[in-house]
A and B are shown apart, each in its own frame.
Chain A
Amino acid sequence: MPDQDTLQDLVGREHAATGSDYSAGFVTDIEADTLPPGLDESVVRAISTKKEEPAWMTEWRLDAFRRWQEMHAPRWAHVRFPDIDFQAISYFSAPKGDAPKSLDEVDPELLRTYEKLGIPLHERARLAGVREEDMPEVAVDAVFDSVSVATTFKDRLADAGVVFCSMSEAIREHPELVRKYLGSVVPKPDNFYAALNSAVFSDGSFVYVPKHTRCPMELSTYFRINAENTGQFERTLIIADEGAYVSYLEGCTAPMRDENQLHAAVVELVALDDAEIKYSTVQNWYPGDDEGNGGIYNFVTKRGACLGERSKISWTQVETGSAITWKYPSVVLRGADSVGEFYSVALTRNFQQADTGTKMTHIGPRTKSTIISKGISAGRSQNSYRGRVRMNPGAKGARNYTQCDSLLIGEQCGAHTFPYIESKLPSAMVEHEATTSKVSDEQLFLCQQRGIDPEKAVSMIVNGFCRDVFRTLPMEFAVEAAKLLEVSLEGAVG
């Protein structure tokens, strides 16, 4: 069977040697160039130097760092964890050696890691595929700890005028675009973790789709934290110029470690007139063990700006990993008639805590937003939806519809909803609905009567519960997202 980066492969469903059901939890033994733990101006400068950045970028980072030093970590989320010692984290780790000029020069160990995860970095493999025409093509940018190791299909994309490269490369090759848009959607001092990211971000993906261009294939970034005691701070910037369309998928995993590791990313999306960006995330960072030890702290700022008229930004997220999730993919609807969407499935189990949702800020007239959030809590986990819909005075005739449903599995978990509705003009219409339910005994009984075992039955019911969100994922990922949920639900019943 030809190589394909389906989600199934992304998350690797075969059980790892440890017997845990987190199969992506292996560590790759690779030589790394890692900065010692600690954070001060010299570390920020060192990162900038390592990445051979121009002076303006170094200054940009230093400004962010100075602002960060004056900020405090937010405490309003419905999550509990000990204070993070930011001096105990290493802010840069790169696989050793010079940057590879082509895939042939990439460290074979690294390639094996991606192969283990099912991420094909060899375009050759795909091109030799037997049923190539049946398969959707996906260009991949793979980020390993602090650096981007490879980006595939660059030539094909370049033919269409699409720029898809690592952020480091974009700073070198497309400084005018980076300077114009970096920090324009998520300003440096936006929040504590965004400021930290602005100071120390190491890599990430950059996408520019030119005017009236439909990106010829799905774009995908795959993030992997490997080194110990490091944080990952990637930065993604996607710009869809007038009339452009791009669909982007992001996946992530990390090894199983007893310590908590910090992931503080920033994603900025910019959609100009008539442009559309579809951003799908499958978040499968290591969630910690059954007792709640270890796992990733996923404190991420994601925001899109619908700057242009009739532009559209759609976020879809399937969140199953991370010990703690603090994440609110948002849309600022500035252009007239622009559209924002947020579809989310968040599943928590064991001791996971998630505080996730969205912010829809309506500024332009006749802007529309839709929020569909499905939270599933199991074990002793806590799962919160937190959202804000704001109708500013200029948003005449704007509309919002929000639905957030929670499903509880077991007696010791929690499901919470915190929607903020703020309206300043009469012609805007905001509607919000929320429900909480459980997998009922009747439903289970009905399934069991028909010979379906309880675990399978719960999985079916949960799948039905999430249907509204899965149908917004690119098709091949939707199927696999359902499978990922199934795997995550194993052992959650009974």
Chain B
Amino acid sequence: MAGSTPDEAAVARRLLQTGPNDYAPWFDRNACTAVIADQGLPAIRSEAWKYTNVGRWYETVLEATRPVHRETVVESPEEVDVRDFSDTRAADLFGPQATFDLTRYPLAAVNGLLLGAGLAIRVPAGCQASQTVRISHLPSAYQHCLVSVEAGAAVELVEEPSPYTHRIVEAVVHEGAVLRHRRRQAGASTRECSLVAVNVATGGRYELSQLSLGADLRRNDILVTLAGDGAETALQSAWRVDGRAHLDNQVAVEHTLPGGTSRQTYRGVAAGRARAVLNGRIHIAPGAQHSDATLSTKNLLADATAEVYAKPELTIFANDVKCSHGATVGAMDEDAVHYFRSRGIDEDRARGLFVRGFLREAIDDLAVAETLGVVV
């Protein structure tokens, strides 16, 4: 309830009073301070937080103890340069400024002030990484991963389930480079917000595959900017929320230069008293002609107490483009279930198979989805 949660002004005041911590001093916190001081934090029930009570996340921010791992657990192949932010050379790999507009994502400014774990990951030009870079655990509730995939390089990045209060994954995909990003989000009783902000240059490609179970509160902000001719992105996400879980995906794909292509596919199941939110925006900037963008979101409501909120948006400022989106919300097809049953498959299994087939359209690794429990 909004009344019992701390208001945004109180949280902002507290953060500004305490000031940034002393981890990785090269990392610029002035912009974070400025954003919180100038525009404040998002208000409860503001348009961007219409369906998610940000006040409950503020509560977590103000709590003293949060479940985090003590150590960094990351795997990576030799040819990929991975450094902790405490290594000052991390500063040489990236500028101190964010590559995204911090004013749009004020929670990232909170992350900046409280930052306790940072990783800088560089895939050198032309390098086809032989193994996956796998992030298992980072030793702070406020985490930041910077990823640079240099020209012509390719890498797979996996985020394993791990608790945090706020995580930023900020990536630059340079000319002709490829970043395959796999996010796995297990069910959790924690309140977690994250931001993925990716810039894709000419001929670059960014793929996101996200599998989620809900959390007490989980919010994923995802921003992909296609800033070059022939830049591409394919985003897919499948989720299953149950119990009292809450999952809010806020995705923006922005075509800022001509010739970009984007594909977004979302499939979700909401059961129990869970709530699933998807806001998927396709934005075509003025002059971004010949952009080609699609979005499809389909949602199954498994119980009368679950809720689904879907808002696929288009903001188009160029005329020679192809853009479309589609959204559906509904129940399981009882005819399909009947068909299974008439072939001797029991009801539970029939429904399980139906859900599996439905979610499959947004899952590229079924084994992982099974392990996580997104499909059963």
When distances are taken between beta carbons in the complex, the residues of chain B under 8 Å from A408 are: 316, 318-319, 321
Closest partner residue, chain A, to B275 (CB atom): A424
Q: B313 contacts A417, CB within 8 Å?
A: yes
Residue interface mask B323-335, A partner, CB < 8 A = 1: 1111111111000
**Is A438 interfacial (CB 8 A cutoff)?**
yes
- Size category of the B interface is 35 or more
Q: A416 contacts B315, CB within 8 Å?
A: yes
Residue interface mask B270-310, A partner, CB < 8 A = 1: 00000000000000001101000000000111111011111
**Is A135 interfacial (CB 8 A cutoff)?**
no
Chain B: minimal CB distance from A369 (Å) = 14
Q: Most chain-A CB neighbours within 10 Å: which of B286, B300, B312?
A: B312
When A412-B286, A417-B325 are in contact, do A426 and B331 touch as well, CB less than 8 Å? yes
- Name the contact of B301 in the complex, choosing from A417, A425, A433 (C-beta under 8 A): A425
**Is B361 interfacial (CB 8 A cutoff)?**
no
Within residues 419 to 436 of chain A, which ones have a CB less than 8 A from any CB in chain B? Answer: 419-436
**Is A287 interfacial (CB 8 A cutoff)?**
no
When A415-B314, A417-B325, A429-B331 are in contact, do A423 and B319 touch as well, CB less than 8 Å? no
**Is A165 interfacial (CB 8 A cutoff)?**
no
**Is A81 interfacial (CB 8 A cutoff)?**
no
A416–B302 CA distance with the chains assembled, in angstroms: 32
**Is A413 interfacial (CB 8 A cutoff)?**
yes
Q: How many residues of A contact B (CB 8 A)?
A: 36
When A393-B304, A427-B331 are in contact, do A438 and B311 touch as well, CB less than 8 Å? no
Residue interface mask B320-354, A partner, CB < 8 A = 1: 11111111111110000000000000000000000
A416–B317 CA distance with the chains assembled, in angstroms: 8
**Is B47 interfacial (CB 8 A cutoff)?**
yes
Q: A414 contacts B312, CB within 8 Å?
A: no
Q: B324 contacts A436, CB within 8 Å?
A: yes
A122–B322 CA distance with the chains assembled, in angstroms: 52
Chain B: minimal CB distance from A225 (Å) = 32
A429–B312 CA distance with the chains assembled, in angstroms: 17
A78–B47 CA distance with the chains assembled, in angstroms: 13
Residue interface mask A387-418, B partner, CB < 8 A = 1: 00001010000000000001011111111111
**Is A56 interfacial (CB 8 A cutoff)?**
no
When distances are taken between beta carbons in the complex, the residues of chain A under 8 Å from B302 are: 426
Chain A: minimal CB distance from B361 (Å) = 16
**Is A437 interfacial (CB 8 A cutoff)?**
yes
Within residues 162 to 189 of chain B, which ones have a CB less than 8 A from any CB in chain A? Answer: none
Within residues 183 to 221 of chain B, which ones have a CB less than 8 A from any CB in chain A? Answer: none
A149–B303 CA distance with the chains assembled, in angstroms: 56
Q: A430 contacts B327, CB within 8 Å?
A: yes
A419–B280 CA distance with the chains assembled, in angstroms: 10
When distances are taken between beta carbons in the complex, the residues of chain A under 8 Å from B332 are: 426
A432–B326 CA distance with the chains assembled, in angstroms: 5
Q: A418 contacts B320, CB within 8 Å?
A: no
When distances are taken between beta carbons in the complex, the residues of chain B under 8 Å from A438 are: 319-321
Q: B328 contacts A429, CB within 8 Å?
A: yes
Q: A421 contacts B310, CB within 8 Å?
A: yes
Q: B301 contacts A426, CB within 8 Å?
A: yes
Q: A411 contacts B319, CB within 8 Å?
A: yes
Q: B326 contacts A417, CB within 8 Å?
A: no
Q: A423 contacts B324, CB within 8 Å?
A: no
When distances are taken between beta carbons in the complex, the residues of chain A under 8 Å from B320 are: 411, 438
Q: Most chain-A CB neighbours within 10 Å: which of B307, B319, B324, B328?
A: B319
A432–B310 CA distance with the chains assembled, in angstroms: 10
- Name the contact of B319 in the complex, choosing from A391, A413, A418, A427 (C-beta under 8 A): A413
A393–B332 CA distance with the chains assembled, in angstroms: 17
Q: A423 contacts B301, CB within 8 Å?
A: yes
A415–B319 CA distance with the chains assembled, in angstroms: 9
Q: A411 contacts B329, CB within 8 Å?
A: no
Chain B: minimal CB distance from A307 (Å) = 24
When distances are taken between beta carbons in the complex, the residues of chain A under 8 Å from B329 are: 391, 421, 423, 428-430
A38–B299 CA distance with the chains assembled, in angstroms: 51
When distances are taken between beta carbons in the complex, the residues of chain A under 8 Å from B323 are: 435-436
Residue interface mask A64-98, B partner, CB < 8 A = 1: 00000000000010100000000000000000000
Chain A: minimal CB distance from B77 (Å) = 42
When A430-B330, A432-B327 are in contact, do A423 and B307 touch as well, CB less than 8 Å? yes
Chain A: minimal CB distance from B240 (Å) = 15
Residue interface mask A340-362, B partner, CB < 8 A = 1: 00000000000000000000000
When A430-B328, A432-B328 are in contact, do A418 and B322 touch as well, CB less than 8 Å? no
When distances are taken between beta carbons in the complex, the residues of chain B under 8 Å from A427 are: 331
Q: A419 contacts B311, CB within 8 Å?
A: yes
A425–B330 CA distance with the chains assembled, in angstroms: 8
When A427-B331, A435-B323 are in contact, do A406 and B308 touch as well, CB less than 8 Å? no
When distances are taken between beta carbons in the complex, the residues of chain A under 8 Å from B319 are: 408-411, 413, 438
Closest partner residue, chain B, to A389 (CB atom): B329
- Name the contact of B313 in the complex, choosing from A391, A416, A428 (C-beta under 8 A): A416
Chain A: minimal CB distance from B246 (Å) = 14
When distances are taken between beta carbons in the complex, the residues of chain B under 8 Å from A435 are: 323-324
A429–B330 CA distance with the chains assembled, in angstroms: 4
When distances are taken between beta carbons in the complex, the residues of chain B under 8 Å from A423 are: 299, 301, 307-309, 329-330
When A76-B47, A426-B304, A430-B329 are in contact, do A436 and B315 touch as well, CB less than 8 Å? no
A430–B310 CA distance with the chains assembled, in angstroms: 10
What are 6 A-B interface contacts by the 8 Å CB criterion?
A391-B329, A408-B321, A422-B309, A426-B300, A426-B302, A430-B330
Chain B residues with a Cβ under 8 A of chain A: 47, 286-287, 289, 299-304, 306-332
Known A422-B308, A434-B325; 7 more pairs at CB < 8 Å: A393-B304, A416-B314, A419-B313, A425-B304, A426-B303, A432-B312, A432-B326
Chain A residues with a Cβ under 8 A of chain B: 76, 78, 391, 393, 406, 408-438
> Closest 8 A-B residue pairs measured CB to CB?
A408-B319, A426-B331, A426-B301, A417-B314, A429-B330, A436-B323, A421-B310, A423-B329
